[in-house]
Structures are given as C-alpha cells and as structure tokens.
Amino acid sequence: MSQVRVVTDGDAHLDPDLAHELNITVVPLTVQIEGEVYQDENGARNEGLLARMARDRSRPAIVGPTTADFRRVYQHLTRTTDRILSIHTSARLSPVFRNARTAADAFLGRCDITVMDSQSTSLGLGILAREAAKMARAGYSLGEVVRHIRGMISRIYVVMFTDSLDYLERSGRISKSQCILGTMLGIKPFLAIEDGEIIPMEKVRSREKGLDKLAEFAGEFTRIEEMAILQSTSYPTSETLLLRERLESSFPGKGFPILVYGPMLAYHVGPDGLGLVTYEGFEERESL
C-alpha cells in the first residue's frame, strides 16, 4: 500500500525546508490586487501585500489555486500514491477548499483523495499539514491520519482585533451602519474564528484594550503547544513586544514567533490586524 501524500495551499505557514523534508505539496496561492496577479507558495510576499493595502486601501482577491491547478497536482501525485489528504484554509474564508474538492471528484475510483476543511488559517493550517505529513511518513493509514487531524482542529484557535472596519463591512462581517458608527467611536472589533468563520465577539475602544483582550485570551489556557503572534509586519512593534512579554510571563520558556498573516485574513480584516493563533495540543501526545 502506498504512503499517504499531503497537499495544502500557500496560506499554510510552513517552513519551506520542513515542507520539503516531510514531502508536503504546497499549491501556491494566486492573488489579484488592482490588476496585478501574483503567486506565493510560502507567504514571502505577504508583508508587501499588507503594506500596499494599508497605503491604497485596496483589497486582494483570491483567484487560485483553481480546480485545474489542483487537478494537475493530484494527477502528478497519482504516479506514486493512491491516497492523498488535501487540507486547506477554511472553506468560509476562501474558494480554495471548494476548488480542491471539485478537482478530487475527477479521481473517484482511481485515487482515494480526502479533501479536508481545516477551519483555520496561517499557522493553524500549517500545524495540521505538518502533523498529517509526520503521520504519513510513520506509515499511518489515510483513515487514521484523517481521524487524528479532525481531532486537532477543535484545539486550534485564532483571535485578533483590527482597525479596518471597512474591510469587515465589505466582507459581510458587520453592517454598514455598524461600520460607520464604529469608525466614528473608534471601536475595534475583537474577532475569533469559530467553525471556520470570522465572528465579531466583543468591542474594544483602543489598541491597548485589544492587547489586554489578547493577553486575557492566552491566559485562559493552562498549557499550550504552540502560539504565535499575527500582524502585518515581520519585525516586532512596540505592541508586539509588550504582548510577547505578557505571554512569556504566562508561559515561561515558550517561544512566541511573529508571523505576517496572509491574503485570506487580509481580505476580511484588512491590513491593521493584530492577533494570536494557538494550538492547545493534547494532554497526552502520541509519539509519531
């Protein structure tokens, strides 16, 4: 029986060397913004994209991977395997999952392709793809990998706040009246991804209060396996340095990398977001 192969998309935060080592196929995102189209496999252009959005108040559109892109990837992989786990960004945030599932339908009877909605983004998606690939390399069956990854999904959390109410309004997360009033009053929504959907949870009156909410959220965990800060730049700001200091006081010895979030989140929350992505982990992890 052939080894399970893992496919994901360019929204996943994955170290390129590790992805290569684990034999993960990453299908690049294709993003269009103001007539320019570019592909990105590992998020290298995310910081420039967010800077452009902040400058021009423009909005990216996710135009790929298309169904045809996935069909080509699956066709290539069927030369060496008959079992594929294709795991992607939340279906409620982009069309990528639907494109992958449509492409997989063409291989019924020839290859067992499971297309999974991660209900997450960025590091959350990367953690799932990475774990699936480790299990595949260890010889687990497709069914075993799928069951374990599904159990992990509910243990991944993404929360953030943003200044960009206009992006939330255009993506349907808040009404036009809420956008106008919130902008006038300086209200910043505190958001969470629940079941793959971005949900406004609370309102904060300042970025300082938003930082407090992020720290409070992190403090609700008794243990974490991974946690990262999401923002629009790759370098620490005064806000992220303060947030990291508060996180380190709650979880001594843990690292809290700063990650630039990608066009999936940027499309919905704009270029001014600040947040956390957390993988709680299991109390007792199986050695893979």
Radius of gyration of the chain (CA): 19
Does residue 174 or residue 40 have the better pLDDT? 40
Question: Is the domain of 11 the same as that of 142?
Answer: yes
Least confident of 74-78, 142-146, 176-180: 176-180
Answer whether 39's CB lies under 8 Å from 262's CB: no
Residue 109: inside a domain, yes or no?
yes
Structure confidence at residue 217 (pLDDT): 96
Report percent pLDDT > 90 for the chain. 74
Look at the block and give the residue holding tokens 């992958």. 100
Among the candidates 114, 134, 153, a domain finishes at 153
Look at the block and give the residue holding tokens 């996710």. 62
Q: What order of strands is seen across the sheet that includes strand 29-33?
A: 36-40, 29-33, 61-64
Question: Is the domain of 135 the same as that of 194?
Answer: no
Question: Is the domain of 207 the same as that of 235?
Answer: yes
**What is the pLDDT averaged over residues 263-283?**
92
Structure confidence at residue 282 (pLDDT): 87
Question: Is the domain of 183 the same as that of 142?
Answer: no
Does the pLDDT value for residue 287 go beyond 50?
no
Structure confidence at residue 170 (pLDDT): 65
Does the pLDDT value for residue 81 go beyond 80?
yes
Using alpha carbons, select from 114, 111, 190 the residue that is nearest to residue 158. Answer: 190
Question: Is the domain of 147 the same as that of 160?
Answer: no
Among the candidates 113, 134, 153, a domain finishes at 153
Does the pLDDT value for residue 267 go beyond 80?
yes
Residue 221 burial (CB < 10 Å; 0-12/13-18/19+)?
middle
pLDDT band at 177 (very low <50, low <70, confident <90, very high): low
Structure confidence at residue 204 (pLDDT): 85
Report percent pLDDT > 70 for the chain. 91
**What is the pLDDT averaged over residues 181-210?**
81
**What is the pLDDT averaged over residues 174-186?**
52
Does the pLDDT value for residue 155 go beyond 70?
yes
Sign of the torsion formed by the C-alpha atoms of 33, 38, 41 and 45: negative
Least confident of 181-190, 200-209, 250-259, 274-283: 181-190
* Domain containing residue 163: 156-279
Structure confidence at residue 175 (pLDDT): 55
Residue 230: inside a domain, yes or no?
yes
Structure confidence at residue 183 (pLDDT): 54
Does the pLDDT value for residue 154 go beyond 80?
yes
Distance CA 232, CA 122 (A): 13
Question: Is the domain of 164 the same as that of 263?
Answer: yes
Question: Is the domain of 17 the same as that of 144?
Answer: yes
| 24-34 residue pLDDT tens | 999 999 999 98
Question: Is the domain of 21 the same as that of 147?
Answer: yes
Structure confidence at residue 201 (pLDDT): 84
Does the pLDDT value for residue 164 go beyond 80?
no
Question: Is the domain of 175 the same as that of 197?
Answer: yes
Among the candidates 86, 121, 153, a domain finishes at 153
pLDDT band at 178 (very low <50, low <70, confident <90, very high): low
Distances in whole angstroms, Cα of residue 85 to Cα of each of 74, 96, 140, 146, 288: 10, 15, 12, 8, 17
Structure confidence at residue 184 (pLDDT): 46
Distance CA 234, CA 46 (A): 9
**What is the pLDDT averaged over residues 87-99?**
95
Distance CA 225, CA 235 (A): 23
Structure confidence at residue 180 (pLDDT): 43
